[in-house]
Structure 1
Amino acid sequence: MMQLFLFRTAARVWLASLAAVALLSAPVMAAPRRAPLPTILISIDGFRPDYLSPALTPNLWALAHSGTQGTMRPAFPSITFPNHWTLVTGLRPDRHGVINGAMADPAHPGAIFGKGSEEPFWWEGAEPIWAAAERAGIRTGTMFWPGSSVAIHGQRPANWQAYHADMPNMARAETVLDWMRRPASIRPRLVTLYFGDVDVAGHRHGPQSAQVRDAITSVDAAIGHLRAGLRAMGRSANLVVVSDHGMAPVDPARVVWAKDYLNPADYRLVSYGGIYFFNNVPGHEAALAQQVARFPAFIHCWPKGDLPKRFHYGRNPRVPDWLCLPEPGARIMDGTPAHPNDGGDHGYDPDSPDMRALFIATGPAFRRGGHLPVFDNVDVEPLLRRLIGLPQRTPDQRDGSDAVFASVLMRR
């Protein structure tokens, strides 16, 4: 009996050994790699991180606490168009070329850039992520974003709409949901979604106004609608919610008028407000430099070649001859502005707490309860590339890195 037991035991060991050898000698079959989930990049223009609260923004609050949150330092200048282009190119304004919300270009005499400018030459200093994605076979959709209706070197998103400021927030969110309901073959893997109401209300009435709270409530509800719609269709997605800059309350006692300091014959205005851009009149340079020195001490002025290095700004040929930067809350006004008594402004030093921008990221790619130190918004585009499976640019082609997110990303 004992011999039979030993024989059976030896047989089992021998068969197990054969199975192990067979497994080791068999060709290794890699597990099929799943396609990345859709990523939706949401911008709330002019949203300060301290607007976030469980009472005012229940949907954003829930998103923040289901994933990762932090604050971002905007690129200089802390203005809408330059920073939106930085968020999707990973380059600072001095490199991507959208250096202001109003600008001229020496290579195109007489051309003036404004909010409705869609000539490709203004934008083609850098490739936005949706253009790179489309070239790589990754379908994209843009429900508004500065520059998204422009054919960048002939490339547009597969799905895009011309900007209409009066399109309701809910309709914007519903358009994105319609894209997410599509079959996988025509469903965008990268989507952008833009809301502008909070910035508009912040300018007109100030960051702590009832009008701003109403605008925040409207945007938060639209994001809640998007979130509920994704859940109802069982569609998993990574959501990245950002703002381009904050908003500072304007101090009427520190609003100055350029005409009280500068001779109109000696300069040419480019833009005014929380940052003041202007050019020399040829032959009047010395006179203008003397007049600039007369501005109050809370206004700091530099010729374009002398700006602080931390701004990473001033080499692009579109940067005007002079830049004056008021301290937060001060303004320099010029001409006959439509809204001379605005209650809020931006464009100030990106290191100012009032200029800090929102960052929330949630979805299967992100750890719950993650918190990030303050980081530069040039890091967002590399993060988006990682999320949608698009190779990173080489270090010389970008100003940011996704390294800051290493601690909050789930390992794949």
Structure 2
Amino acid sequence: MKRGIHFLLLLISFTVFAQQATVDTAQIVIPGRQNTIEAQSKPYVIMISTDGFRYDYAKKYNAENLLKFSNNGIQAKAMIPSYPSITFPNHWSLITGLYPAHHGLIDNFFYDYKRNETYAMSNKKNAEDGSWYGGTPLWGLAEKQGLVSASLMWVGSASDAGGIRPSYYYPYHEKFTPSEKVEKVVNWLKLSQDKRPHFISLYFPEVDGSGHHYGPDTKETENAVHLIDHAIGDLVQKVNDLGLKNVNFIFVSDHGMIKVDGGAPLEIPAVLFDKSRFDFYNSQTLLRIYVKNPAEIKSVYKELKAHKTEDYEVYLDKKLPRYLHFATRDDQYHRIGQILLIPKAPKIFLEKGKKTSVGKHGYNPKVVPEMKATFYAWGPEFKNNLVVDEFANINVYPVVAEILGLKIDQPIDGKLKVLKEILKEEK
């Protein structure tokens, strides 16, 4: 296993951002921030996301530390990602308690027709511009109420989304190893009581990278799971050694992973390449269509539906199943489009000449179980030895707010009652 971990550390990461030759790895500290006297006595929450950590990976690959900690705390049978089950929308749903159509990050890449601008997750300017992001992230909620926060690479944490950044954060890069990230979290918790963050969000991309490049059922992905499991074990031990009271850990992922049929992809209907009539946005597991002349929407929909194959479905956006919260009635930022082509797993849409990865995500998690994510939690605020049923990821937000004694100051989609049973006692 060690040989596999050492090999994995040498790999170029294949996930969310394209890396530049030189990257600024310096921490950014917002001056003048400190915990209120009341905040200094509050619990700590370390919220860890491992991108692409499918709901069954811990047992499938015997992640010893995660299984041990969650067996003594809380295990969810699975956590249901928001639709579409991709990285940016779901990390922002976890940290705001809102569905993607309500917070605005409806895809990793999209066009905003009101702004006349494109958002791309690989664009540093976009990623650090809080005007693209709706909702109040947990670090912003904490900071506004006098509780210091910190973030290591979480989606949106280098932006001023919600009006305020974490006290301590790093612009996104993939230069730090998992063990280096552990040390940075521990160093934050060594700060003086007035400066020490009580909410920390931490992000690991390695499992997602291996799942994309090699597939979910490979030795490389197993090695990536063990790499992160080792880092979690190291983090918990080093935090325990600090002797702090009431430190709580929440381990989540944004989505799962499935091996796709890249050898026989679906063809995008030829009519859509008429740029005078359409824009389309293809994440391969979801194809969104914007019809430039609204009068054509119904006729185009009927044409696409008449010529579709059995390998995908065609939806008017307003007719998408209500439980996905991704229809016209939900689209608060008007970014989704009016017609959706949804392939049936493991099929994907792929333009001619384009490449795909071995593993992908983005499908409806209610239909494709491989999309389901992970939720584990342990610490003094959580009950012991409790297994809970599947739940939507928007419900993590109010649990963290409850533990930290934060007042939620705007409407969210998540409900505390969904997960209240995992907490030991009422606040």
TM-score range, shorter chain: 0.7 to 0.9
The reply to whether residue 374 of structure 1 matches residue 380 of structure 2 is no
Q: CA deviation at 1:139?
A: 0.5
For 1:365, the aligned partner's letter is E
**What's the CA shift string for 1:358-387, capped at 9, x where partnerless?**
000000011111111111111000000011
Superposition TM-score, scaled by structure 2 size = 0.83
Q: Is 1:280–1:288's contact at 8 Å kept on the other side of the alignment? A: no
- C-alpha separation in 1, matches of 2:326 and 2:43: 36
Superposition TM-score, scaled by structure 1 size = 0.85
C-alpha change, 1:33 and 1:194, in structure 2 (3 Å) is: closer
The reply to whether residue 94 of structure 1 matches residue 108 of structure 2 is no
> Please, which moves more after superposition, 271-280 or 210-219?
271-280
Aligned equivalent of 1:276:
287
- C-alpha separation in 1, matches of 2:300 and 2:100: 30
Q: CA deviation at 1:90?
A: 0.8
C-alpha change, 1:386 and 1:254, in structure 2 (3 Å) is: farther
Aligned equivalent of 1:311:
324
Aligned equivalent of 1:325:
342
Q: CA deviation at 1:228?
A: 1.2
Aligned equivalent of 1:176:
185
C-alpha change, 1:172 and 1:72, in structure 2 (3 Å) is: same
Aligned equivalent of 1:47:
53
Q: CA deviation at 1:112?
A: 3.4
Matches within 5 A, 1:105-120: 105-116=112-123, 117=126, 118-120=128-130
C-alpha change, 1:221 and 1:276, in structure 2 (3 Å) is: same
1:270 is paired with a residue whose SS is: strand
- C-alpha separation in 2, matches of 1:326 and 1:358: 24
Structure 2 gaps of 5+ residues are: 1-37
The reply to whether residue 68 of structure 1 matches residue 74 of structure 2 is yes
For 1:362, the aligned partner's letter is W
- C-alpha separation in 2, matches of 1:112 and 1:408: 37
Q: CA deviation at 1:110?
A: 3.5
For 2:226, the aligned partner's letter is T
Matches within 5 A, 1:285-364: 285=297, 286-287=299-300, 289-291=302-304, 293-315=306-328, 316=331, 317-334=334-351, 336-337=353-354, 339-340=355-356, 342-351=357-366, 352-364=368-380
- C-alpha separation in 1, matches of 2:98 and 2:324: 13
Q: CA deviation at 1:254?
A: 5.3
- C-alpha separation in 1, matches of 2:44 and 2:157: 18
The percentage of aligned residue pairs carrying the same residue is 29
Q: Is 1:327–1:349's contact at 8 Å kept on the other side of the alignment? A: no
The reply to whether residue 136 of structure 1 matches residue 154 of structure 2 is no
Aligned equivalent of 1:27:
none
- C-alpha separation in 1, matches of 2:138 and 2:305: 40
**What's the CA shift string for 1:270-298, capped at 9, x where partnerless?**
22311122322548653575145423212
> Please, which moves more after superposition, 301-310 or 173-182?
301-310
**What's the CA shift string for 1:284-321, capped at 9, x where partnerless?**
65357514542321211212222111111123201122
| CA RMSD, Structure 1 to Structure 2 (Å) | 2.2
- C-alpha separation in 1, matches of 2:65 and 2:321: 39
For 2:358, the aligned partner's letter is G
- C-alpha separation in 2, matches of 1:115 and 1:248: 23
- C-alpha separation in 1, matches of 2:214 and 2:302: 34
Q: Is 1:262–1:288's contact at 8 Å kept on the other side of the alignment? A: no
Q: CA deviation at 1:115?
A: 3.3
C-alpha change, 1:262 and 1:225, in structure 2 (3 Å) is: farther
C-alpha change, 1:104 and 1:34, in structure 2 (3 Å) is: closer
C-alpha change, 1:107 and 1:33, in structure 2 (3 Å) is: closer
Structure 1 gaps of 5+ residues are: 1-31
Q: CA deviation at 1:52?
A: 0.8
Q: CA deviation at 1:239?
A: 0.1
Give the number of aligned pairs.
375
Q: Is 1:239–1:362's contact at 8 Å kept on the other side of the alignment? A: yes
For 2:279, the aligned partner's letter is R
- C-alpha separation in 1, matches of 2:308 and 2:175: 39
Q: Is 2:301–2:339's contact at 8 Å kept on the other side of the alignment? A: no
C-alpha change, 1:329 and 1:54, in structure 2 (3 Å) is: closer
> Please, which moves more after superposition, 250-259 or 316-325?
250-259
**What's the CA shift string for 1:56-110, capped at 9, x where partnerless?**
3111111111200101111111111111111111111111111111111122113
1:386 is paired with a residue whose SS is: helix
- C-alpha separation in 2, matches of 1:247 and 1:84: 16
2:41 is paired with a residue whose SS is: coil
Q: Is 1:267–1:288's contact at 8 Å kept on the other side of the alignment? A: no
Q: Is 1:120–1:151's contact at 8 Å kept on the other side of the alignment? A: yes
- C-alpha separation in 1, matches of 2:324 and 2:202: 28
C-alpha change, 1:385 and 1:268, in structure 2 (3 Å) is: same
- C-alpha separation in 2, matches of 1:54 and 1:291: 40
- C-alpha separation in 2, matches of 1:161 and 1:310: 35
